[in-house]
Amino acid sequence: MSTISILVLNGPNLSRLGKREPEIYGHLSLDDINRELARSFPDISFEFFQSEHEGSLAEKLFEAEDRGCFSGVVLNAGAFTHYSIALRDAISSVQLPVIEVHLSNVHAREAFRRTSVISEVCAGVISGFGANSYHLGVRGLLAKG
Ligand code: DQA
């Protein structure tokens, strides 16, 4: 049986998890979340990447597609979710299924967070389950086969 590989991609300000507005995003750091994800799915090979920069996220998506070893991507695009047409175009440029995830329930917050310019080109959306959103994103990818 070949190992399933999943890329977990995080956008701007998610490097500050644990310190950043813990009442909204919780007390775990991104490293804690990534470690816990790898521990929960021991049969999956994960690659983790975070960037504050729009272009770096797009480049990572292209690299992931070109390497040809990934089954899909779990993406928390942070604030880029709400306005980055460049990221949306990058997602729709690749064949890889991308699951959009958010720690917070973006629909229960400020009005500008209710708009996602990437949802339409993602394979699914998960929002509001804290660190578990990433786990559910992985489950969603596995369920899509
Ligand atoms: C977020 C929600 C976004 O609105 C926000 O800009 C983030 C984090 C979340 O995980 O809840 O940076 O994507």
Domain regions of the chain by residue span? 4-144
Say if CB 49 and CB 9 are below 8 A apart: yes
**Contact 103 CB / ligand 1 (< 6 Å):** yes
**CA-to-CA distance for 56 and 66, rounded, in angstroms?**
15
What residues contact residue 28 under an 8 Å CB cut-off, 6+ apart?
Answer: 17, 18, 36, 131
pLDDT in tens, 107-140: 999 999 999 999 999 999 999 999 999 999 999 9
pLDDT in tens, 48-63: 999 999 999 999 999 9
- In Å, the largest CA–CA distance within the chain is 46
Fold of 4-144: Rossmann fold (3.40.50)
pLDDT in tens, 58-91: 999 999 999 999 999 999 999 999 999 999 999 9
**Contact 76 CB / ligand 1 (< 6 Å):** yes
With the most atoms of ligand 1 within 8 angstroms of its CB, the residue from 29, 75, 103 to mutate is 103
The pLDDT value recorded for residue 145 is 76
Q: How far is the CA of 27 from the centre of ligand 1 (A)?
A: 15
**Contact 113 CB / ligand 1 (< 6 Å):** yes
Please check the confidence at residue 41 and state whether its pLDDT lies above 60. Answer: yes
The pLDDT value recorded for residue 1 is 53
pLDDT in tens, 1-25: 568 999 999 999 999 999 999 999 9
Active site residues: 25, 102
The pLDDT value recorded for residue 2 is 65
44-50 sheet: strands from edge to edge: 44-50, 4-10, 72-76, 98-102, 124-127
φ, ψ at 126 (rounded to 5°): -130, 130
